[in-house]
A and B are shown apart, each in its own frame.
Chain A
Amino acid sequence: MTSKGWPAVRETFFSWEAFRTSFPEVLKGFWLDVKLFVIVEIGVLICGLAIALARLSAQPALAPLRILGALFVDVFRGVPTILVVYLVGFGVPALELSGLPTDPVVLGGIALLLSYSAYVAEVYRSGITSIHPSQLQGALAVGLTPNQATRHVILPQAVRRVVPPLLNDFISLQKDVALVSILGPLEAFRVAQIEASSNFNYTPLIAAAALYLMVTIPLARVLDRMERRRAAR
């Protein structure tokens, strides 16, 4: 704060006046982020689990599913999320096929879903494989089918084990929702950008950052508390 440029930075990044006038618009944009986050996260939890189960299926007949699952994870975990957003957001409408969505918010959401499902599938998978085989044996011995054993014995234990890494990915997704801005929807980051460039003042970006922190910091605290409780057990 004693640096030579500080007065200029204070004026362009921390102008109270600019904050006050831009905040309502940025907040309105942020609601889109929150909505998108919640919907995509629910989709990710479901798709990720489905992919993990597909990859772990043991039946010979399901070999194609296993390969497909592995391929999906390799591709979408290996490509930068921003690139997936670009490719889906601009590529799908360019196909000009009827029935495919053209709404950039929907397309952006799909791109995030693809990317994060790949990560979350691996989190689930590590949780499931960490359950000792004796649990499966015990479940089969009481007469459960392999599917029932997964559903009632393996999964409940696996999910409990992976809640912290899942929450970590939650936080990450909450931030990456901003990537959808490159497709045009007026979410917080994009609104802040527009506000910033129209007034030559970057304070709206700080407003957007503050909004993200208001969600990610509480999530991080929840995560901390879970880790502590786990350590105490």
Chain B
Amino acid sequence: MSPPVLEARGVTKAYGETDVLRGIDLEVRPHQAVALIGASGSGKSTLLRCMDLLEEIDDGDVLLDGEVITDPSVDPVSVRRRLAMVFQAFNLFPHLNVLENIVLGPVRAQGVARGEAEARARELLDRFGLAGREAVMPDRLSGGQQQRVAIIRALAAQPRALLLDEVTSALDPDLVGEVLGLLRELKESGMTMVIATHEMSFAREVADRVDFLHEGRIVESGPPERILAAPEHAETQRFLRRLLEGGRL
């Protein structure tokens, strides 16, 4: 088996008195899509942000391609240039148009020539059904379109892995499909992904593995068909039952 792209070893994180991550171990191999599921506050988002070095961890290690990136000697900026993150609230830059949003990272952070970056951005917009929207400001787009632009912005840096933080949770139900469709395509093209999500049917369809987080620990991990259909851990069963009762499964 090929070595993991991303790895967490005993990662802990607390905000003040509150332990958010209590020793997370996880491996993501090339082209793998790993879904993180669990209740709100279980630590999914924090784990993603810690892996992108947007948060400092208290203990443990995060490795990217075998390198310990949480070592103090590693420049977090260089790590973030190799990874990409998509947020629940899109976090597009409202003062820049679609094209400028996408090329800002490549041009400023990666040193790609503007013309080349723009050509690649247009290609991506074209591929994901947003051709012709280059000059539009983000607030003129629907939520689904905004999130697709945000995903394209993340892809523009040609990242080793894509970290997705509940990217459909802020969308109207009728707009969820277009974003999930894009992610499906990415999975098919072999993108390595870690997906924090509440969309269980999507996780079942796309993920190679589902990790269930409860109170800062991965309490159960395995192929989606097993975790979602026949969970062994009591907390996983309780979580899925609640989703079922809420009509979310």
In the complex where A156-B95, A157-B95, A160-B95 touch, is A143 in contact with B89 (Cβ < 8 A)? no
Q: Give the distance to chain A from B178, nearest Cβ to Cβ, in Å.
A: 21
Contact partner, B110, options A143, A153, A160, Cβ 8 Å: A143
Q: Can you spell out 19 A-B residue pairs with CB atoms less than 8 angstroms apart? A: A134-B89, A135-B93, A138-B87, A138-B91, A138-B93, A140-B80, A141-B85, A142-B84, A142-B109, A142-B153, A142-B157, A143-B80, A143-B109, A143-B110, A144-B109, A148-B108, A148-B109, A153-B93, A157-B95
Contact partner, A141, options B80, B94, B95, Cβ 8 Å: B80
Indicate whether A137 reaches chain B with its CB closer than 8 angstroms. Answer: yes
Q: What is the chain B residue whose CB lies nearest that of A142?
A: B105
Q: How far is B77's CA from A143's CA once the two chains are assembled, in angstroms?
A: 6
Q: What is the chain A residue whose CB lies nearest that of B85?
A: A141
Q: How far is B91's CA from A157's CA once the two chains are assembled, in angstroms?
A: 13
Interface residues of B in 130-159 (CB under 8 A from A): 153-154, 157
* B-contact bits for A131-151, CB 8 A (1 contact / 0 none): 000110111111111001000
Indicate whether A152 reaches chain B with its CB closer than 8 angstroms. Answer: yes
- Which of A145, A148, A156, A160 has most B Cβ within 10 Å? A145
Q: How far is B94's CA from A157's CA once the two chains are assembled, in angstroms?
A: 8
Q: How far is B52's CA from A153's CA once the two chains are assembled, in angstroms?
A: 19
Would you call B104 and A141 a contact (CB within 8 A)? no
Indicate whether B92 reaches chain A with its CB closer than 8 angstroms. Answer: yes
Indicate whether B113 reaches chain A with its CB closer than 8 angstroms. Answer: no
Which residues of A pack against B, CB within 8 Å?
134-135, 137-145, 148, 152-153, 156-157, 160
Chain B residues near A153 (CB, 8 Å)? 93, 104
Chain B residues near A134 (CB, 8 Å)? 87, 89, 91
* A-contact bits for B83-116, CB 8 A (1 contact / 0 none): 0110101011111000000001100111000000
Q: How far is B201's CA from A32's CA once the two chains are assembled, in angstroms?
A: 73
In the complex where A143-B109, A144-B109 touch, is A152 in contact with B91 (Cβ < 8 A)? no
Q: How far is B92's CA from A82's CA once the two chains are assembled, in angstroms?
A: 46
Chain A residues near B22 (CB, 8 Å)? none
Chain B residues near A156 (CB, 8 Å)? 95
Chain A residues near B249 (CB, 8 Å)? none
Q: What is the chain A residue whose CB lies nearest that of B78?
A: A143
Indicate whether B54 reaches chain A with its CB closer than 8 angstroms. Answer: yes
Would you call A143 and B81 a contact (CB within 8 A)? yes
- Which of A153, A157, A160 has most B Cβ within 10 Å? A153
- Which of B52, B95, B154 has most A Cβ within 10 Å? B95
Chain A residues near B105 (CB, 8 Å)? 142-144
Q: What is the chain B residue whose CB lies nearest that of A160?
A: B95
Q: Give the distance to chain B from A155, nearest Cβ to Cβ, in Å.
A: 10
Chain A residues near B54 (CB, 8 Å)? 137, 140-141
- Which of B91, B105, B153, B157 has most A Cβ within 10 Å? B91
Chain A residues near B84 (CB, 8 Å)? 141-142
Q: What is the chain B residue whose CB lies nearest that of A153?
A: B93
Q: Give the distance to chain B from A143, nearest Cβ to Cβ, in Å.
A: 3
Contact partner, B154, options A137, A139, A142, A144, Cβ 8 Å: A142
- Which of B77, B92, B153 has most A Cβ within 10 Å? B77
Q: How far is B91's CA from A140's CA once the two chains are assembled, in angstroms?
A: 11
Chain A residues near B94 (CB, 8 Å)? 157
Chain B residues near A141 (CB, 8 Å)? 52, 54, 80, 84-85, 87, 91, 154
4 more A-B contacts (CB under 8 A) besides A135-B91, A143-B77? A137-B87, A138-B93, A157-B93, A157-B95
In the complex where A137-B91, A142-B154 touch, is A152 in contact with B108 (Cβ < 8 A)? yes
Would you call A144 and B108 a contact (CB within 8 A)? yes
Q: What is the chain A residue whose CB lies nearest that of B163?
A: A141
Chain A residues near B154 (CB, 8 Å)? 141-142
Q: Which 9 residue pairs of A and B lie closest in terms of their CB atoms, listed nearest first?
A: A142-B105, A143-B109, A138-B91, A143-B81, A141-B85, A134-B91, A156-B95, A143-B105, A145-B77
